[in-house]
Each structure stands twice: as structure tokens, then as C-alpha cells.
Amino acid sequence: MSSLLLKNVLHEGRKTCILIADGRFKDLNAPQDCPADRVYEADGLAILPAMYNTHTHAAMTLLRGYADDMALNKWLQEYIWPYEDKLTAEDIRRGSEIAIREMLAGGTVFFSDMYFEIEGTMKEVEKYGMRAAIGITMLDGHSLSQQEHKLDTLKHWKDPSGGLLTLTIDPHAIYTAGPETFRKCARLCKETGYMLHTHLSETREEVENCIKAHGTTPVRYLNELGVLGPHVIAAHCVHVDKEEWKILADNGVTVSHCPASNMKLGSGRFPYELAIESGCRITIGTDGASSNNNLDLRESVKLATLLAKVNGDPELLPAELALRWATRNGAEAFGIDAGEVKEGMLADAILLRMSPERMQPCHNLVSNFIYSADSSCIKVTICNGKIVYESDFSMIFAGN
């Protein structure tokens, strides 16, 4: 593999040269004339870790803005599902490509995906050189032969990307996959080492229906099924009580918090106080573009920090912690040795323009990135030691 020297980049408040080799941060204080296969002049740019989007449905970029501002059932039944029924494998490949490009331009180098017809999505991930965990979605509505076909995919699959790509096993949710499906998926995770990715406790209705059907709440229900463990990534977890947070934490479950989606669909405010107190590993997801409507993880991080504070506690979820949810926590959950700009770690990073007015002045880089930046500030995205995205941005003011 090749080496990359980031020359004169701002790191923790001072200019330095950073050498990346074999996909990892090799030297954060390399000499100016350090030999490298590629030298990138990063004067005026600051480095931060890249981000990890732990819950999305990439191909749903195709439905961006197709149905907004409506009640959940109408939205799903009259708009989303009929539209999705018509999608071909080629549509899904194209929708995934839009998502991948959008994510890279927003500083995201990994996504955990749950959708269908995954071959095209995987091809695009490989093409663009990003990381992903692509879910094999399991629904009881699917026929037995479809399910068997999916599980075959899983058993015969080999990563063609050299470690950037993996699969997950995705029983969709407790209201679309029964106890047998969940148990089967959990068994398969143990056999294969893949993660189990599901929606959990997203809406009040889900909780109420679970109590009616199973006599208990969703987290307790999955715990009783023996499904929970460090291999589980649970998206949403909006309606989770204190004892349930302890169950999630004790089992080492990772939660993907999706603030934009929870707000836009009216699902409710994530219980930040309980979640943080529990010690559970929390990460951030954008969810699909039909309920967000972008895949901009930085925007979702800002949303999380603000929604945490709104009820009266401005100290809750400071920017540093929220960025950690979107960086190191996301990487760690999926066993990726990345998420920090640190010698020895895999080199996933972004280089930020310091010149746009929204980045000025710079009292605090993390604060400026989380609270003030947008994608116009992202000059470069680096994944696995390689520059996978680069932008040019210039502004002209008539009055200047």
C-alpha cells in the first residue's frame, strides 16, 4: 500500500505534518521533507476524525422529498411502500451511489445499511473506497425461499474490498420479524461473527403493541429471547426506560441514535439523560433520506446536541462527546480500529477549510465543526489512508 504525507495540517491547535502509511496514521509529527508516495499540501486545513453513520437505508435517497410532513401510517402505506415496490436492483444501485457520494462529501466514511438487493450497493461501496456494513434484511413477510436465498448469500460471501466491507444480519424490527426469525438471526451471528442490526423502540406505538403481544416492552422482549449482546446494533431506542438502558448496557448493545428521523417523524425525543447515565455505547445515524432528508452526519450530531439541551440543561451532551458518538464510538461498535487521529490507528479523517466565515474565528475547532460548519467546509475525506473525496470551493462577494 502507498503512503500519504499531509503537509502543514492543523492538528490540536498547531501546524504539523502527518504521515499515513499502510492505511494507518504512522507519524503525527513527521518532518516537512518526509518521503511519501503522495504529498498533500494541507496549509489552511485542519484535521478531524471522519464519521461513521451507524443506521441508514442508503438507496432511499431516491425518495428524498417524495413524501414529507405527514403522519407515519399515511407516509408508509400511501407513499413509501408503493414507491419501494417499484424499485429495481438497478434503481437501488443508483440510489446507493447517490448516498455514498453524499456521505463522502459530508465527511462520513462508513455506513451501516439496511435495505434490499444489496449487490449493487456493495459494488458502489467498493468502487468509492469507503467502508460499510451491509445488512441482509429479514422480514417474516418474505417467503421461506427468499429467506433461504439471503442466508446463502451470507454463508458464501467473501469480502472483495480488503477489509472495508462486511455484512450484517438484519431482522427488520420486532413488529415485522417474529421471535423465530430473531432467534435464527442471533444464532447466525454467533456462527459467522456478523453483527445483528435492527430497529428498536422507535415509537410509542411499537412499545404499546409489544406489551399487548408479548406482555413486555421491546428491549425486555429481545432480552428474554436471548438476542441481545455486543454484536447487536439497535437503531432509535427512543422509548426505553431506565431499567431497559441498564439491560442494553449490561449486554454491550450499541445504540444508533437518529435525531433527524425521530424529530421529523414525530417519534419523540431520545432520552439522552438515561442513555448517557447507563454507560451504553451510543453512536449516530442519519436514517434514510426519506425521513431526514439528507445523509449529513454532522448535521445529525448538531441536532442531537441541541435536542439534548432544549428542555433546560445546556450542559448535556457537549460537542466533544457528541463528536465521539459519531466517530470513535461508531467505528468501535463495528470493530474498526479507527475514529481518532492517533498514531497506529486506521487513517480515516477529514480536512476542514478554516477560511469560510462560518469557521471563523476558531476558538474551538470541535465546536466550530459540530455547531457551525457544513459540507462546504469539507475539503478532503480520507478513508483507510486514501483520499477518496476532494472538493474545491470559492466565494466571490460583489461588495468586496
Q: Which of residues 34-53 bind a copy of itself (CB under 8 A)?
A: none
Taking the complex as a whole, the smallest distance from the CB of residue 35 to a copy of itself amounts, in Å, to 22
Q: Which of residues 253-272 bind a copy of itself (CB under 8 A)?
A: 260, 262-269
Taking the complex as a whole, the smallest distance from the CB of residue 102 to a copy of itself amounts, in Å, to 4
Contact 235, 202 (CB under 8 A): yes
Bridge partners, residue 242, by sequence = none
Question: What 3 state SS string does 37-105 have?
Answer: CEEEECCCEEEEECEEEEEECHHHHHHCCCCCCCCHHHHHHHHHHHHHHCCCHHHHHHHHHHHHHHHHH
Contact 321, 90 (CB under 8 A): no
Bridge partners, residue 52, by sequence = 110
Contact 236, 219 (CB under 8 A): no
Look up cell 455486543; give the residue.
230
Among the candidate windows 18-26, 59-67, 177-185, 272-280, which touches a copy of itself by CB under 8 A?
59-67
Taking the complex as a whole, the smallest distance from the CB of residue 384 to a copy of itself amounts, in Å, to 11
Binding mask 81-100 for a copy of itself (x = CB under 8 A): -----------------xx-
Q: Which of residues 131-190 bind a copy of itself (CB under 8 A)?
A: none
Task: Tell me the angle at which helices 118-128 and 89-105 cross, rounded to the nearest 10 degrees.
Answer: 30
Q: Which of residues 308-337 bind a copy of itself (CB under 8 A)?
A: 309-319
Pick 334 or 389: Cβ nearer a copy of itself = 389
Contact 157, 134 (CB under 8 A): no
Binding mask 373-392 for a copy of itself (x = CB under 8 A): xxxx---------xxxxxxx
Binds a copy of itself by CB under 8 A, chosen from 144, 145, 155, 394? 394
Q: Is 128 in the site for a copy of itself (CB under 8 A)?
A: yes
Those residues whose C-beta lies under 8 Å from the C-beta of residue 187, and which sit 6 or more positions away, are none
Among the candidate windows 41-49, 55-63, 152-160, 273-281, which touches a copy of itself by CB under 8 A?
55-63
Binds a copy of itself by CB under 8 A, chosen from 85, 145, 156, 398? 398
Q: Which of residues 270-309 bind a copy of itself (CB under 8 A)?
A: 289, 292-296, 299, 303, 305-307, 309
Contact 79, 86 (CB under 8 A): no
Binds a copy of itself by CB under 8 A, chosen from 71, 88, 153, 193? 71
Those residues whose C-beta lies under 8 Å from the C-beta of residue 213, and which sit 6 or more positions away, are none
Pick 21 or 189: Cβ nearer a copy of itself = 21
Grid cell digits, residue 328:
470513535
Q: Residue 159: which of 185, 117, 125 has the closest Cα?
A: 125
Phi-psi region of 185 (alpha: psi -120 to 50; beta: other; left: phi over 0): alpha
Q: Which of residues 185-224 bind a copy of itself (CB under 8 A)?
A: 204
Binds a copy of itself by CB under 8 A, chosen from 6, 84, 96, 102? 102
Q: Is 3 in the site for a copy of itself (CB under 8 A)?
A: no
Q: Is 393 in the site for a copy of itself (CB under 8 A)?
A: yes
